């Protein structure tokens, strides 16, 4: 009976004991926080600069690119489920880097051609919209 009492007290002490909680300072150092804050600040400033170009300067080229990107994202989102998009993103992040390293020269050439064709089309759209507003 004494043994049962001792075991009961020990088990109760184990369950009621609260583990020592680690503070946020123990988990993340100040240097890491500063680096993350610097990177986040750069990205936020870039986004705000793009927003400024669209809203204040009325830059048609930037707003056309934004419209096209949002349209492509919404079209892809219409075709797939969110979890499917996450799965596809993970698979692409694992497959694309080795393929790019293997075929880097060919990919750079094709992307350059596609970029020049797309730039010509965007410039044509911008010049036509400027002519129609005059």
Mean pLDDT on 64-93: 85
Q: Using the structure block, give the residue that is written with the tokens 């692409």.
A: 92
Between these two residues, 23 and 134, which has the higher pLDDT value? 23
Whether 133 shows a pLDDT value over 60: the answer reads: no
By residue count, the chain amounts to 134
User: How many whole angstroms separate alpha carbon 47 and alpha carbon 53?
Assistant: 10
Q: What is the 3-state secondary structure (H, E, C) of 85-96?
A: HHHHHHHHHHHH
Whether 95 shows a pLDDT value over 70: the answer reads: yes
Whether 59 shows a pLDDT value over 80: the answer reads: no
pLDDT category of residue 112 using cuts at 50, 70 and 90: very high
Between these two residues, 77 and 133, which has the higher pLDDT value? 77
The 10 Å Cβ neighbour count of residue 15 is: 7
User: How many whole angstroms separate alpha carbon 40 and alpha carbon 133?
Assistant: 39
Q: Helix, strand, coil % (nearest 5) of the chain?
A: 85, 0, 15
Q: What angle do CA 13, 18, 20 make, to 5 degrees?
A: 130
Between these two residues, 39 and 10, which has the higher pLDDT value? 39
The pLDDT, as a whole number, for residue 82 is 80
* CA neighbor of 64 nearest in space, from 119, 110, 115: 119
Residue 34 CA, chain-centre distance (Å), reads: 20
User: How many whole angstroms separate alpha carbon 4 and alpha carbon 39?
Assistant: 59
Whether 108 shows a pLDDT value over 90: the answer reads: yes
Domain-wise residue ranges, the chain? 27-58, 61-134
DSSP letter assigned to residue 28:
S
Question: Percentage of the chain with pLDDT > 70?
Answer: 83
User: How many whole angstroms separate alpha carbon 29 and alpha carbon 90?
Assistant: 29
């Amino acid at each position: 009976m004494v043994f049962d009492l001792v075991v009961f007290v020990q088990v109760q002490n184990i369950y009621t004991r609260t583990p020592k909680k680690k503070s946020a300072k123990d988990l993340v150092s100040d240097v890491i926080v500063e680096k993350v804050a610097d990177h986040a600040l750069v990205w936020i400033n870039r986004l705000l600069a793009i927003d400024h170009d669209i809203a204040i300067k009325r830059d048609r080229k930037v707003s056309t690119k934004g419209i096209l990107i949002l349209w492509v994202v919404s079209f892809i989102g219409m075709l797939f489920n969110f979890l499917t998009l996450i799965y596809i993103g993970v698979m692409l992040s694992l497959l694309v880097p080795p393929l790019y390293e293997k075929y880097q020269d060919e990919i750079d050439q094709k992307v350059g051609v596609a970029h020049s064709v797309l730039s010509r089309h965007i410039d044509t759209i911008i010049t036509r919209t400027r002519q129609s507003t005059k």
